[in-house]
Structure 1
């Protein structure tokens, strides 16, 4: 019988603690070059003519929680009407892309399946290239259906024996992750090092009650304590942007903007990929804060800063 999962509240943290942790693991993030300063505009409409393609983060750019950002639906419609190529690139690995697409449509956006790329998709593509028949143990959180993923995968949260039996591990969600499970995984990887694939590189995610600790947070803690080097899928890593290029092979020859609300994922990742990086400040991670303070502390300088989408 599968083990019963006890109710668990994912720990939360604050922006400054999260920022300091991102800086502490900076050596594990891609490298990029940045402008000396940022151009500042009110919204994407002011710079729309400068770009052919917009790659959009979701939270803080399209929506906050279960509502669209005011004016975002109309902005996306205007960009589409102007002939812009549009993609949503999200580090959402807890559920299939179809669920994300349905959520965006419920907000009023008209994205097609080919326009939505999730880090779960990128992880699944990597699994397809590891076709050795091995058993993967997944931390899948509230969406235990893993049928959309490639490979032989079982739910780690339901079967503790997988800590010993699995040939590799997938961190897709931290929604049901506990300190005990973290300790068990550290012990398992110390005793028997195996691959660790991380489907969401984010350290934190904004919620109503603070910033929750995401798979990236736990994975970097594992890297600190074991010899295992996690493999991350999603922003800011190159594999996320390669997924866009597969859908739009000519993207490298176009004028491309990566639009997001975080420095260490959206802005760093966009610049490392060679794209113009645009930071939205009023709705996401830095809402109500002086984003320029964090820009100065990190040296991650957006090409353009917009108040809103």
Structure 2
């Protein structure tokens, strides 16, 4: 059975750095979870280096702004590492003027800013697809399948900048961009994945904090993304049980980390 802790104070002195998931650990997209701001402040006061490591298709700037709006002072975090920024590095390697069909939340195009790429509104002519986020409030999963079918048929690679399978929506949870990308991959078309559990985002976070993997702990609510990615990176982990996957059956290892009900000091 996975060992349990009531708060991070029980293990904080074992680590130099703490990697924090965003959605489901710090907040639900609208409100900071009770005790989350106080916990982050206590970790900072205890001298821990802190990074938000988030499967967000947006860049660090918009995510810092959102965290600040929810009550997390900007100086609490030493780094904000997003899957969107990691994906942007791969997009930069596409041929100049390649056409990219973009799916994102809130009209965000930050992953393309400054790149010599051409956005297209027609998936039938796309050289590549950027999937930065899904909007299940606006389109069904079947709708996304139909929308992307022409791009998949011509073998356009899909860059998935947010591999989360579930996400918060008003009033509950729904499918995330990762589920859309999984459907695309099922057609046989190529998909490149960025973010947790893949190693690049953990390497970027550890480099930003100048911390060895063995001296860092990942705190997240997904056994597949946060725990699985931490294990691949050589980090310890804490699974928060009350996040996006609350109540869902998750395959949680019995060693290498801890479980806790919600983020607390």
**Pair in the same fold by TM > 0.5:** yes
CA–CA distance in structure 1, aligned partners of residues 252 and 27 of structure 2: 27
SS of 1:41 mapped into structure 2: coil
Residue 39 of structure 2: aligned partner? 75
Residue 174 of structure 1: aligned partner? 134
CA–CA distance in structure 2, aligned partners of residues 279 and 54 of structure 1: 13
Residue 211 of structure 1: aligned partner? 173
1:121 aligns with 2:121: no
CA–CA distance in structure 1, aligned partners of residues 128 and 252 of structure 2: 36
Residue 85 of structure 1: aligned partner? 49
| Count of aligned pairs between the two proteins | 257
Residue 198 of structure 1: aligned partner? 160
SS of 2:72 mapped into structure 1: coil
Give the structure-1-normalised TM-score.
0.76
CA–CA distance in structure 2, aligned partners of residues 237 and 145 of structure 1: 23
User: Taking structure 1 as reference, are residues 270 and 253 closer, same or farther at Cα in structure 2, changes over 3 Å only?
Assistant: closer
Residue 224 of structure 2: aligned partner? 264
Q: CA deviation at 1:60?
A: 2.1
Q: Structure 1 residue aligned with 2:117, among 152, 159, 165?
A: 152
1:223 aligns with 2:185: yes
Q: Do the aligned residues in 2 keep the contact of 1:256 with 1:276 (CA within 8 Å)?
A: yes
SS of 1:305 mapped into structure 2: strand
User: Taking structure 1 as reference, are residues 209 and 257 closer, same or farther at Cα in structure 2, changes over 3 Å only?
Assistant: same
Q: Do the aligned residues in 1 keep the contact of 2:2 with 2:253 (CA within 8 Å)?
A: no
Give the structure-2-normalised TM-score.
0.87
1:279 aligns with 2:239: yes
Residue 64 of structure 2: aligned partner? 101
CA–CA distance in structure 1, aligned partners of residues 194 and 200 of structure 2: 6
Q: CA deviation at 1:299?
A: 5.2
Q: CA deviation at 1:168?
A: 0.7
User: Taking structure 1 as reference, are residues 219 and 234 closer, same or farther at Cα in structure 2, changes over 3 Å only?
Assistant: same
Cα RMSD of the aligned pairs, angstroms, is 2.3
User: Taking structure 1 as reference, are residues 74 and 114 closer, same or farther at Cα in structure 2, changes over 3 Å only?
Assistant: closer
SS of 2:155 mapped into structure 1: coil
Residue 73 of structure 2: aligned partner? 110
1:52 aligns with 2:16: yes
Q: Do the aligned residues in 2 keep the contact of 1:40 with 1:304 (CA within 8 Å)?
A: yes
User: Taking structure 1 as reference, are residues 280 and 152 closer, same or farther at Cα in structure 2, changes over 3 Å only?
Assistant: same
User: Taking structure 1 as reference, are residues 105 and 59 closer, same or farther at Cα in structure 2, changes over 3 Å only?
Assistant: same
Q: Deviations over 1:4-32 (max 9, x none)?
A: xxxxxxxxxxxxxxxxxxxxxxxxxxxxx
Q: CA deviation at 1:286?
A: 4.2
Structure 1: which 5+ residue stretches go unaligned?
Answer: 1-36
Q: CA deviation at 1:153?
A: 4.1
Structure 2: which 5+ residue stretches go unaligned?
Answer: none
